[in-house]
Structure 1
Amino acid sequence: MRPAGSAGPAARQTQPPAGEVTMVPTLLQLLLLWLLGAGGRMDGSQPRLRLSFQELKARHGLRTYGLERSCCYEALLLDEERGRLFVGGKNYLASLSLDNISKQDQKIYWPAPVEWREECNWAGKDINAECMNFVKILHLYNRTHLLACGTGAFHPTCAYVEVGQRLEEPVFRLDPAAVEDGKGKSPYDPRHTAASVLVGEELYAGVATDLMGRDFTIFRSLGPRPSIRTEQHDSRWLNEPRFVDVFWIPESENPDDDKIYFFFRETAVEGPPGLGKSSFARVGQICRNDLGGQRSLVNKWTTFLKARLVCAVPGSDGGDTFFDELRDVFLLRTKDMRNPLVYAVFSTSSSVFRGSAVCLYNMRDIRRAFLGPFAHKEGPSYQWVSFQGRVPYPRPGMCPSKTFGTFSSTKDFPDDVIQFARNHPLMASPVLPQGRRPLFLQTAGAATFTRIAVDRVAAADGHYDVLFIGTDIGTVLKVVSVPKESWQNMEELLLEELQVFKDSSPVTSMQLSSKRQQLYVGSPSALAQLPLHRCWIYGKGCAECCLARDPYCAWNGTSCTRYMPNTKRRFRRQDVRNGDPNMLCSGDPQRGSVLERRLYGVEGSSVFLECVPKSLQARVLWSYQKASGAPLKEVQPDERVLQTERGLLLRSVARRDAGLYHCQATEHGFTQGLLRLWLEVLGPRGEPLAAPPHSKPWYQDFLQLVDHPNLGAVDQLCHQLRGRQQPPPAQPHKWQLLEEARRARKRRTHELPRAERGPRSAAAW
């Protein structure tokens, strides 16, 4: 029964306190650092920050969830009103808290019947991998129920899940008596995707409707009206399609003009002959009030049209590089409900060239393509050209309404209109993206874009669309598009690369909550939840916060925090468009303060001067001073001095290398000091050869104690060192030398007569 009442990352380095002493790393560490950084910095496709799964889990609010003996979390439904995330997986439905998916979970075990599984296995399918119920469809059906559909071990099935009407009602149950046939709603095969939207009581779905996966159709089911579909076995309509997404978009104030838009990719019928199969991205439209024809196209769409979606990089020689494998679509609603923005993710189908792209489309351009010329196959070689003959009235693709004519139903359309619609579903003009090129592009990386979610963020200098792009290696890219000279000329900023899944499984679903500022990501192995922003990670200074150019973040006078448009703060500073610290941070008290450290190296051995900026897009500059007042000289790499991604490697330290090294980072035209390193060179036996002025080497006290044991002086020095902060484990060398001094003292004092040993100290080593 149907319910009633329907409505890899580079780790960040933490610097020790000023004045802390660092000894030379081991030779093995130096070689490893050199090998990792020998290639230098990457190009502009490098993210500004890269965070590993462990870092996100430990310090940045990443939460994960998984069901035992389940997988494949493709169906996600975000319900802001109830504060729940509904999830469909293998044999399970789950209801999770939007605030924390790891807590307050509710589960429904929904397997396929045993007889269906056995029948599936007899048909040659894997009983454990394929003969299960994989949930593919989740929709809010009304105020109290969800519509859920799954593969049902190659027996598509749907059910209505009660979820309660209010947030306080912890209801989550499935009525086994309310299960019904899912053909035309869910695919048979778990490897196939389905795209659907529920409008009122009617479900519009792009899905395979047969066991073999050969009859793909756009199907309308449920509701009081008869079911309706695309023409069967006609490659001009659909040719091996893979449906990606579908949306209901109003056309005018009159609901009779509403249309349903399908986004899919298919084998192109108009592809160049003799070059094999070509995959094209498509957008298709149907009228919501289409009832089919009276004598022809009975119970078939009479308003179905499709056009090519082009996402390409224009070539200098006139040849374009196309991205035709449509992967995902995100509809960004605007104040004008009739004109949302369409963000689409593409990859290439070429075996030679690999890349991914994001293109942005305007609904006006999509509608303009459907009002343009129809594609027609004619001539001796049967080439596809623009149709030049008479187009019947009413124009095919128009909805029957009082807005554009006097027809009240598609059953009233003349026969010539129906025949033209049957033979000419393809438009001649493609839909081009805004700017005639991709908004964001990656061609050198190993990852392929799979999913996208977009958040419109209010900043101090305007509104920005922040893109969250999932990949096939379990990462999420955070990208913001910033105008250069004008809003037509855009600059893409790759802010973050986040490894959200430990096993690098591909991102298969995404939902974004602007209200809670959270992103929810699904993969075959797990679910993940993480915040949209991590402002404090950019640094502790105004310049670092400004250089990040993150629309979510601003400098409030003391720290980099979330930007709130309605909050009046005297010291709030943000400039996403320009990101110029010289303009915003001139009065910052921390500006100009640079951390200073000491480093010791032995003559003839190697020493590594480590300096890692927070931003991977920054370029590091090294300069050298012999003493504090001496002139600065730029460090020139050669066969002895290697500049790596993590610092300078001096392969054979000489006396002339002693002095002050300045590490500076240049990014977006702004240069700031990161670190000053005093390098002191020791002789082969540990004796000082050259030292920074006005500084006393700390180890001289130990050398004196080793030669002339004095228990009182040793105890006093140990007491001073114990009062200091415990050094990090990565810097044990100073304490090892202290231990050696203690052992030498004990050996020598035991060799002395008792009277010469001095009084016994109460201090313990």
Structure 2
Amino acid sequence: MSHISCGPDFTTGPICHPGDTDWTDIHRKISVIVKRVEASFKEMDETHLVLSVFLKTAMKILFGSFHHNNIASEVHSPSPLSWNQNTLSNVKPFFSQVCVCVRVLQSDCVNYVKIVHHYNRTHLYACGTGAFHPTCAFVEVGHRMEDHVFRIDPSKVEDGKGKSPYDPRHNAASVLVGDELYAGVATDLMGRDFTIFRSLGKRPSIRTEQHDSRWLNEPKFIGSFWVPESENPDDDKVFFFFRETAVEAQGLGKSTYSRIGQLCRNDMGGQRSLVNKWTTFLKTRLICSVPGADGSDTYFDELRDVFLLQTRDRKNPLVYTVFSTSSSVFKGSAVCLYSMNDIRRAFLGPFAHKEGPNYQWVPFQGKVPYPRPGMCPSKTFGSFESTKGFPDDVIQFARHHPLMYNPVYPMTRRPIFVRTNVEYSFTQIAVDRVNAADGQYDVMFIGTDRGTVLKVINVPKESWNNMEELLLEELEVFSPGSVSPQQQLYVGSDTGIAQVPLHRCSVYGKACAECCLARDPYCAWDGTSCTRYLPNNKRRFRRQDVRNGDPNTLCSGDHHKHRVAERKLFGVEGSSTFLECIPKSLQARVTWTFQKHPQNPREEVRLDDRILQTDRGLLIRRVLKRDVGIYQCHAMEHGFTQTLLGITLEIVPSTSPSTSNLPSDAPVRLDPRSGGGPPMTNQKLWYRDFMQLVDHPNLSTVDQICEQVWARKNAGGEQADKTFAAQGKEAPPAGPAVRPANKKWKHLQEIRKGRNRRTHDGKPNPRAPRSAGE
């Protein structure tokens, strides 16, 4: 049973201050942070999964020991664990005074958790900022979920310097390998001394060279992983991913480069130089860019997150990364994929070298000492048993040449998924490998700063080198709803954790064509519905084609005919009306056809300044008598055409004094300025207000726009009252309230919900299984 954890960002939750948590806030629309499950969590028994929930608005640590099948029923009642004054009585006065001295914000003077690792089957190891006094502790969780054990042993609380930063705003990245902790942190109060530090375990503590910009230059640590190099554990390396101010770009302005750094697990430091310092540390640049036609690349420089997807070969996992742009002019995000072979090749390439301040960085052309800097002392590649036995020239070369000249490029030399000119940025990523009928697919779950998760796959076109990026869904994470018991996505943020199913096949409709066009590797057509695809399922009647998504071939034997939904709409001549039609697939191209009468041939609707097509339907800015007729909405995708909806539009003459002759349930589009009567003589069209509403996803902004519209209408009514009073006439009786209830506009917020496979209220309109022209 596989699980992807997009669990809470362990770097942001306060854990030490009395207070309560309002769990209703969990379902707010907030910035989503996707986080991988720690490898140690995966090793736990399948019936017991410890999920740690850190709430930034809470003032204490909240750990919940939950059954992984469904945390929704249990997440509302976690077990509180206080890391309180009694536990930290020996250091409380000191770090309270320090916090008061260096910080004004009271919210900083709490213990923000920065590191959480599963130490063994009974304990977690957690470190936090400790109100600017880093502190670590072992947290007992018991052997099983039924044990209900969750406590801190005061005797096992220890100093967290070199494991957690002082300032909650500083990033930290760490990995626990065996009983050793490798952490990238800021080790001083002012946040100027950044280091990669090894602690715990039996080997001596080791760190990077201090105050040397060639090693680390204002880094922001993103992630850390252990990857075996060979069958010999002495060759194992630990990799750190971070971004920093580039020393190569000095003199050209301040530039940020993304990096990958490596070091050997068995590094013991030097004997006479680099004592208790890394002697095997190397770093190089990670490039994620889109090649331009003129030879210049568009770079995504700022690394945001890293995910290692394990393969059958433990030595060669796939490295998925999320990048964003640093430019204030061009904004975008990208996902780049790297191979460990390319990373190792870069570290075996030339070293970057600079003769002096006025020289450029060039590949080192001299003799590289033996053993080559960056190689681990082992019997696999040499005869050295410890780095303390390395010659002095090796140590000196390693000190002055930590940077490699060749960068690491992504596979295919370009990103596998890109979004530009959108309202959100990618923040984090988790990946699940799925077996489908036509092969394996890596499903990417990409968190955004807008509170959504993008579900994306790459599908090969002519070859595996030519890939098509396919956005399957955009999930609104923190919304109430039921969850299935298996295949869960755990998504966390500053205020909570949510559980979302990896597969939601029911949203793809009830027709074979819709299920096929979804191209979701989790789903397949079973003859009656779109359901979860299981490779070992004994049912033979399973239709799935992720690569091509061709319902003409896949659903040729499906004889289920579905009637096209029909609606009748009334519009007022000279006013505006909107014909809504939203396809379930964002990849579908929507076209509209028109028939004056049922016996007339259909013709495509001609778009101009009066008739506009949006992604939600057809907007007729000024209704004319000739617009009466039958409109049909068609969706075309992968050569397959289906009719989604038929709308019969009837026109009410503008000279009509009332609409009492219309059916009571008929939808009518009236000029909103007229209060239900004929349109005003002012020719300014109200569609501008409508389009303004459509283009604003924020409900509060929508309310402000509505207030402006209603204010204009009220002003017009007051002016009319003054006119009647001046003429000595009695003003006409007031009609219904001009200002509609706010709930009248809530459908606009629902329309803007981030979702590619859209569902409607009531019974969905299934797509016909065959082409509309057949």
For residues 357-506 of structure 1, the aligned pairs below 5 Å read 357-378=334-355, 381-501=358-478
Within the candidate set 592, 599, 605, 1:629 is matched to 599
What is the TM-score of this pair, normalised by structure 1?
0.76
Rate the CA distance shift 1:337–1:600 in 2: closer, same or farther, 3 A.
same
Q: State the distance in 2 between where 1:639 and 1:357 align.
A: 36
Contact 1:120 1:127 in 2 (8 A): no
Contact 1:73 1:89 in 2 (8 A): no
Contact 1:468 1:477 in 2 (8 A): yes
Q: State the distance in 2 between where 1:134 and 1:640 align.
A: 57
Matched residue, 1:108: 81
- 1:354-412 CA-to-partner distances (Å, cap 9, x unmatched) read 11111000000000011111111026832110001111111111111111111111111
Matched residue, 1:95: 64
TM-fit CA distance, 1:568: 2.6
Rate the CA distance shift 1:214–1:640 in 2: closer, same or farther, 3 A.
closer
Matched residue, 1:354: 331
Within the candidate set 520, 525, 531, 2:501 is matched to 531
Matched residue, 1:228: 206
Rate the CA distance shift 1:413–1:559 in 2: closer, same or farther, 3 A.
same
Corresponding position: 1:253 with 2:219: no
- In the alignment, structure 2 segments of 5+ residues that lack a partner are 1-22, 666-774
Contact 1:501 1:526 in 2 (8 A): no
Contact 1:603 1:654 in 2 (8 A): yes
Rate the CA distance shift 1:140–1:386 in 2: closer, same or farther, 3 A.
same
Partner amino acid for 1:540?
K
TM-fit CA distance, 1:631: 1.6
Matched residue, 1:541: 511
Matched residue, 2:549: 579
TM-fit CA distance, 1:72: 12
Rate the CA distance shift 1:583–1:73 in 2: closer, same or farther, 3 A.
closer
Matched residue, 1:734: none
Matched residue, 1:284: 261
Partner amino acid for 1:95?
G
Within the candidate set 570, 575, 579, 1:609 is matched to 579
Partner amino acid for 1:410?
T
- 1:177-211 CA-to-partner distances (Å, cap 9, x unmatched) read 21011111111110011111111111011111111
Partner amino acid for 2:101?
A
TM-fit CA distance, 1:64: 7.7
Q: State the distance in 2 between where 1:547 and 1:163 align.
A: 46
Equivalent position SS for 1:359: strand
TM-fit CA distance, 1:677: 2.4
Rate the CA distance shift 1:555–1:396 in 2: closer, same or farther, 3 A.
same
TM-fit CA distance, 1:500: 2.5
- 1:476-528 CA-to-partner distances (Å, cap 9, x unmatched) read 1111111111111111111222233589xxxxxxxxx9993112222223322
Rate the CA distance shift 1:150–1:652 in 2: closer, same or farther, 3 A.
closer
Q: State the distance in 2 between where 1:584 and 1:67 align.
A: 40
Corresponding position: 1:564 with 2:534: yes
Partner amino acid for 2:405?
A
TM-fit CA distance, 1:605: 5.2
Partner amino acid for 1:84?
V
Equivalent position SS for 2:394: helix
Corresponding position: 1:135 with 2:101: no
Q: State the distance in 2 between where 1:610 and 1:67 align.
A: 29
Q: State the distance in 2 between where 1:64 and 1:325 align.
A: 34
Structure showing greater radius of gyration is: 1
Matched residue, 2:300: 323
TM-fit CA distance, 1:643: 3.2
Q: State the distance in 1 between where 2:312 and 2:477 align.
A: 32
Rate the CA distance shift 1:67–1:477 in 2: closer, same or farther, 3 A.
closer
Within the candidate set 509, 525, 534, 1:555 is matched to 525
TM-fit CA distance, 1:420: 0.9
Matched residue, 2:316: 339
- 1:128-179 CA-to-partner distances (Å, cap 9, x unmatched) read 2111001111111112111011000111000001111123322111112210
- 1:289-348 CA-to-partner distances (Å, cap 9, x unmatched) read 111111111111111111111111112112111111111100000110000000011111
Matched residue, 2:50: 84
Partner amino acid for 1:83?
L
- 1:452-482 CA-to-partner distances (Å, cap 9, x unmatched) read 1111111111111111111222221111111
Rate the CA distance shift 1:250–1:541 in 2: closer, same or farther, 3 A.
same
- 1:727-746 CA-to-partner distances (Å, cap 9, x unmatched) read xxxxxxxxxxxxxxxxxxxx
Q: State the distance in 2 between where 1:216 and 1:591 align.
A: 66
Q: State the distance in 2 between where 1:561 and 1:459 align.
A: 13
Corresponding position: 1:219 with 2:219: no
- 1:711-761 CA-to-partner distances (Å, cap 9, x unmatched) read xxxxxxxxxxxxxxxxxxxxxxxxxxxxxxxxxxxxxxxxxxxxxxxxxxx
Between 636-645 and 453-462, the greater mean CA deviation after superposition: 636-645
Q: State the distance in 1 between where 2:484 and 2:342 align.
A: 27
Equivalent position SS for 1:419: helix
Within the candidate set 102, 119, 123, 2:97 is matched to 119
For residues 720-735 of structure 1, the aligned pairs below 5 Å read none
Equivalent position SS for 1:123: helix
Corresponding position: 1:155 with 2:133: yes
What is the TM-score of this pair, normalised by structure 2?
0.75
Contact 2:456 2:473 in 1 (8 A): yes
Between 401-410 and 628-637, the greater mean CA deviation after superposition: 628-637
TM-fit CA distance, 1:595: 1.8
TM-fit CA distance, 1:93: 3.8
Partner amino acid for 1:520?
Y
Matched residue, 2:635: 665
TM-fit CA distance, 1:682: 5.4
Contact 2:99 2:132 in 1 (8 A): no
Q: State the distance in 1 between where 2:291 and 2:617 align.
A: 39
Taking every aligned residue pair, what percent have the same amino acid on both sides? 68
TM-fit CA distance, 1:89: 4.7
Matched residue, 1:33: none
Contact 2:27 2:478 in 1 (8 A): no
Equivalent position SS for 1:260: strand
Partner amino acid for 2:590?
V
- In the alignment, structure 1 segments of 5+ residues that lack a partner are 1-62, 504-512, 690-696, 701-765
Equivalent position SS for 2:495: coil
Contact 2:180 2:199 in 1 (8 A): yes
Q: State the distance in 1 between where 2:316 and 2:184 align.
A: 23
Q: State the distance in 2 between where 1:544 and 1:490 align.
A: 22
Rate the CA distance shift 1:298–1:601 in 2: closer, same or farther, 3 A.
closer
TM-fit CA distance, 1:95: 1.9
Equivalent position SS for 2:388: helix
Rate the CA distance shift 1:423–1:681 in 2: closer, same or farther, 3 A.
closer
Q: State the distance in 2 between where 1:401 and 1:489 align.
A: 41
Contact 2:129 2:164 in 1 (8 A): yes
Q: State the distance in 1 between where 2:410 and 2:146 align.
A: 45
Contact 1:205 1:219 in 2 (8 A): yes
Contact 2:33 2:448 in 1 (8 A): no
Between 199-208 and 474-483, the greater mean CA deviation after superposition: 474-483
Residues paired across the two proteins, number:
620
Rate the CA distance shift 1:88–1:72 in 2: closer, same or farther, 3 A.
farther
Matched residue, 2:690: none
Q: State the distance in 1 between where 2:555 and 2:286 align.
A: 44
Equivalent position SS for 1:417: helix
For residues 166-205 of structure 1, the aligned pairs below 5 Å read 166-205=144-183
Matched residue, 1:301: 278
Equivalent position SS for 1:422: helix
Rate the CA distance shift 1:606–1:327 in 2: closer, same or farther, 3 A.
closer
Contact 1:73 1:88 in 2 (8 A): no
Rate the CA distance shift 1:543–1:73 in 2: closer, same or farther, 3 A.
closer
TM-fit CA distance, 1:540: 1.4
TM-fit CA distance, 1:94: 0.8
